[in-house]
């Protein structure tokens, strides 16, 4: 069975500074990896995905993620954080052997707090 770990409950960063939200995964075979963001009382909003190809994936709102197969990691990054980036971030993995894109295993989430 696949699993995802987000080792940090919260990440604090000053506006303008780079941010990193960490994610490691465990899955048999090639992973399908995703990042979602959740604002208060809202659903999940898709940010980016890694299916295959370049290890650096670019997504919405200036976010990017680096896939590292040897370290089984998929860390989310942004060069310059904004206060409006403050939200709950989820890393997720999809079992590549299932025929569905909507059965995901999520990490526990990391709260990003960006301050002025």
20-49 residues near another protein, rule: CB under 8 A = 32, 34, 36, 41-46, 49
> Per-residue x/- mask for another protein, residues 58 to 97, rule CB under 8 A?
--------------------------------x-----x-
**Tokens standing for residue 113:** 């707090």
> Which of 9, 52, 70, 116 touches another protein (CB under 8 A)?
52
Give the DSSP per-residue string, 1-13: --EEE---SEEEE
Look at the block and give the residue holding tokens 């060069």. Answer: 79
Helix (H, G, I), strand (E, B) or coil at 62: helix
Which residue, 34 or 81, is less far from another protein as judged by CB? 34
**Which residues are CB-neighbours of 95 under 8 A, at least 6 positions away?**
2, 27, 32, 103, 105
How far apart, in whole angstroms, are the C-alpha atoms of residue 28 and residue 62?
A: 30
Which residue, 7 or 16, is less far from another protein as judged by CB? 7
Q: Which residues are at the interface with another protein (CB under 8 A)? A: 32, 34, 36, 41-46, 49, 51-52, 90, 96, 98-109
């Amino acid at each position: 069975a696949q699993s995802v770990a987000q080792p940090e409950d919260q990440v604090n960063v000053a506006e303008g500074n780079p941010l990193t939200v960490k994610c490691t995964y465990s899955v048999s075979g090639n992973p399908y990896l995703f990042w979602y963001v959740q604002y208060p009382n809202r659903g999940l909003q898709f940010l980016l995905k890694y299916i295959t190809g370049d290890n650096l994936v670019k997504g919405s709102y200036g976010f990017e993620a680096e896939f590292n197969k040897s370290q089984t990691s998929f860390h989310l990054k942004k060069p310059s954080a904004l206060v409006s980036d403050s939200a709950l971030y989820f890393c997720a993995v999809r079992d590549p052997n299932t025929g569905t894109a909507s059965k995901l295993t999520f990490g526990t989430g990391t709260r990003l707090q960006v301050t002025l």
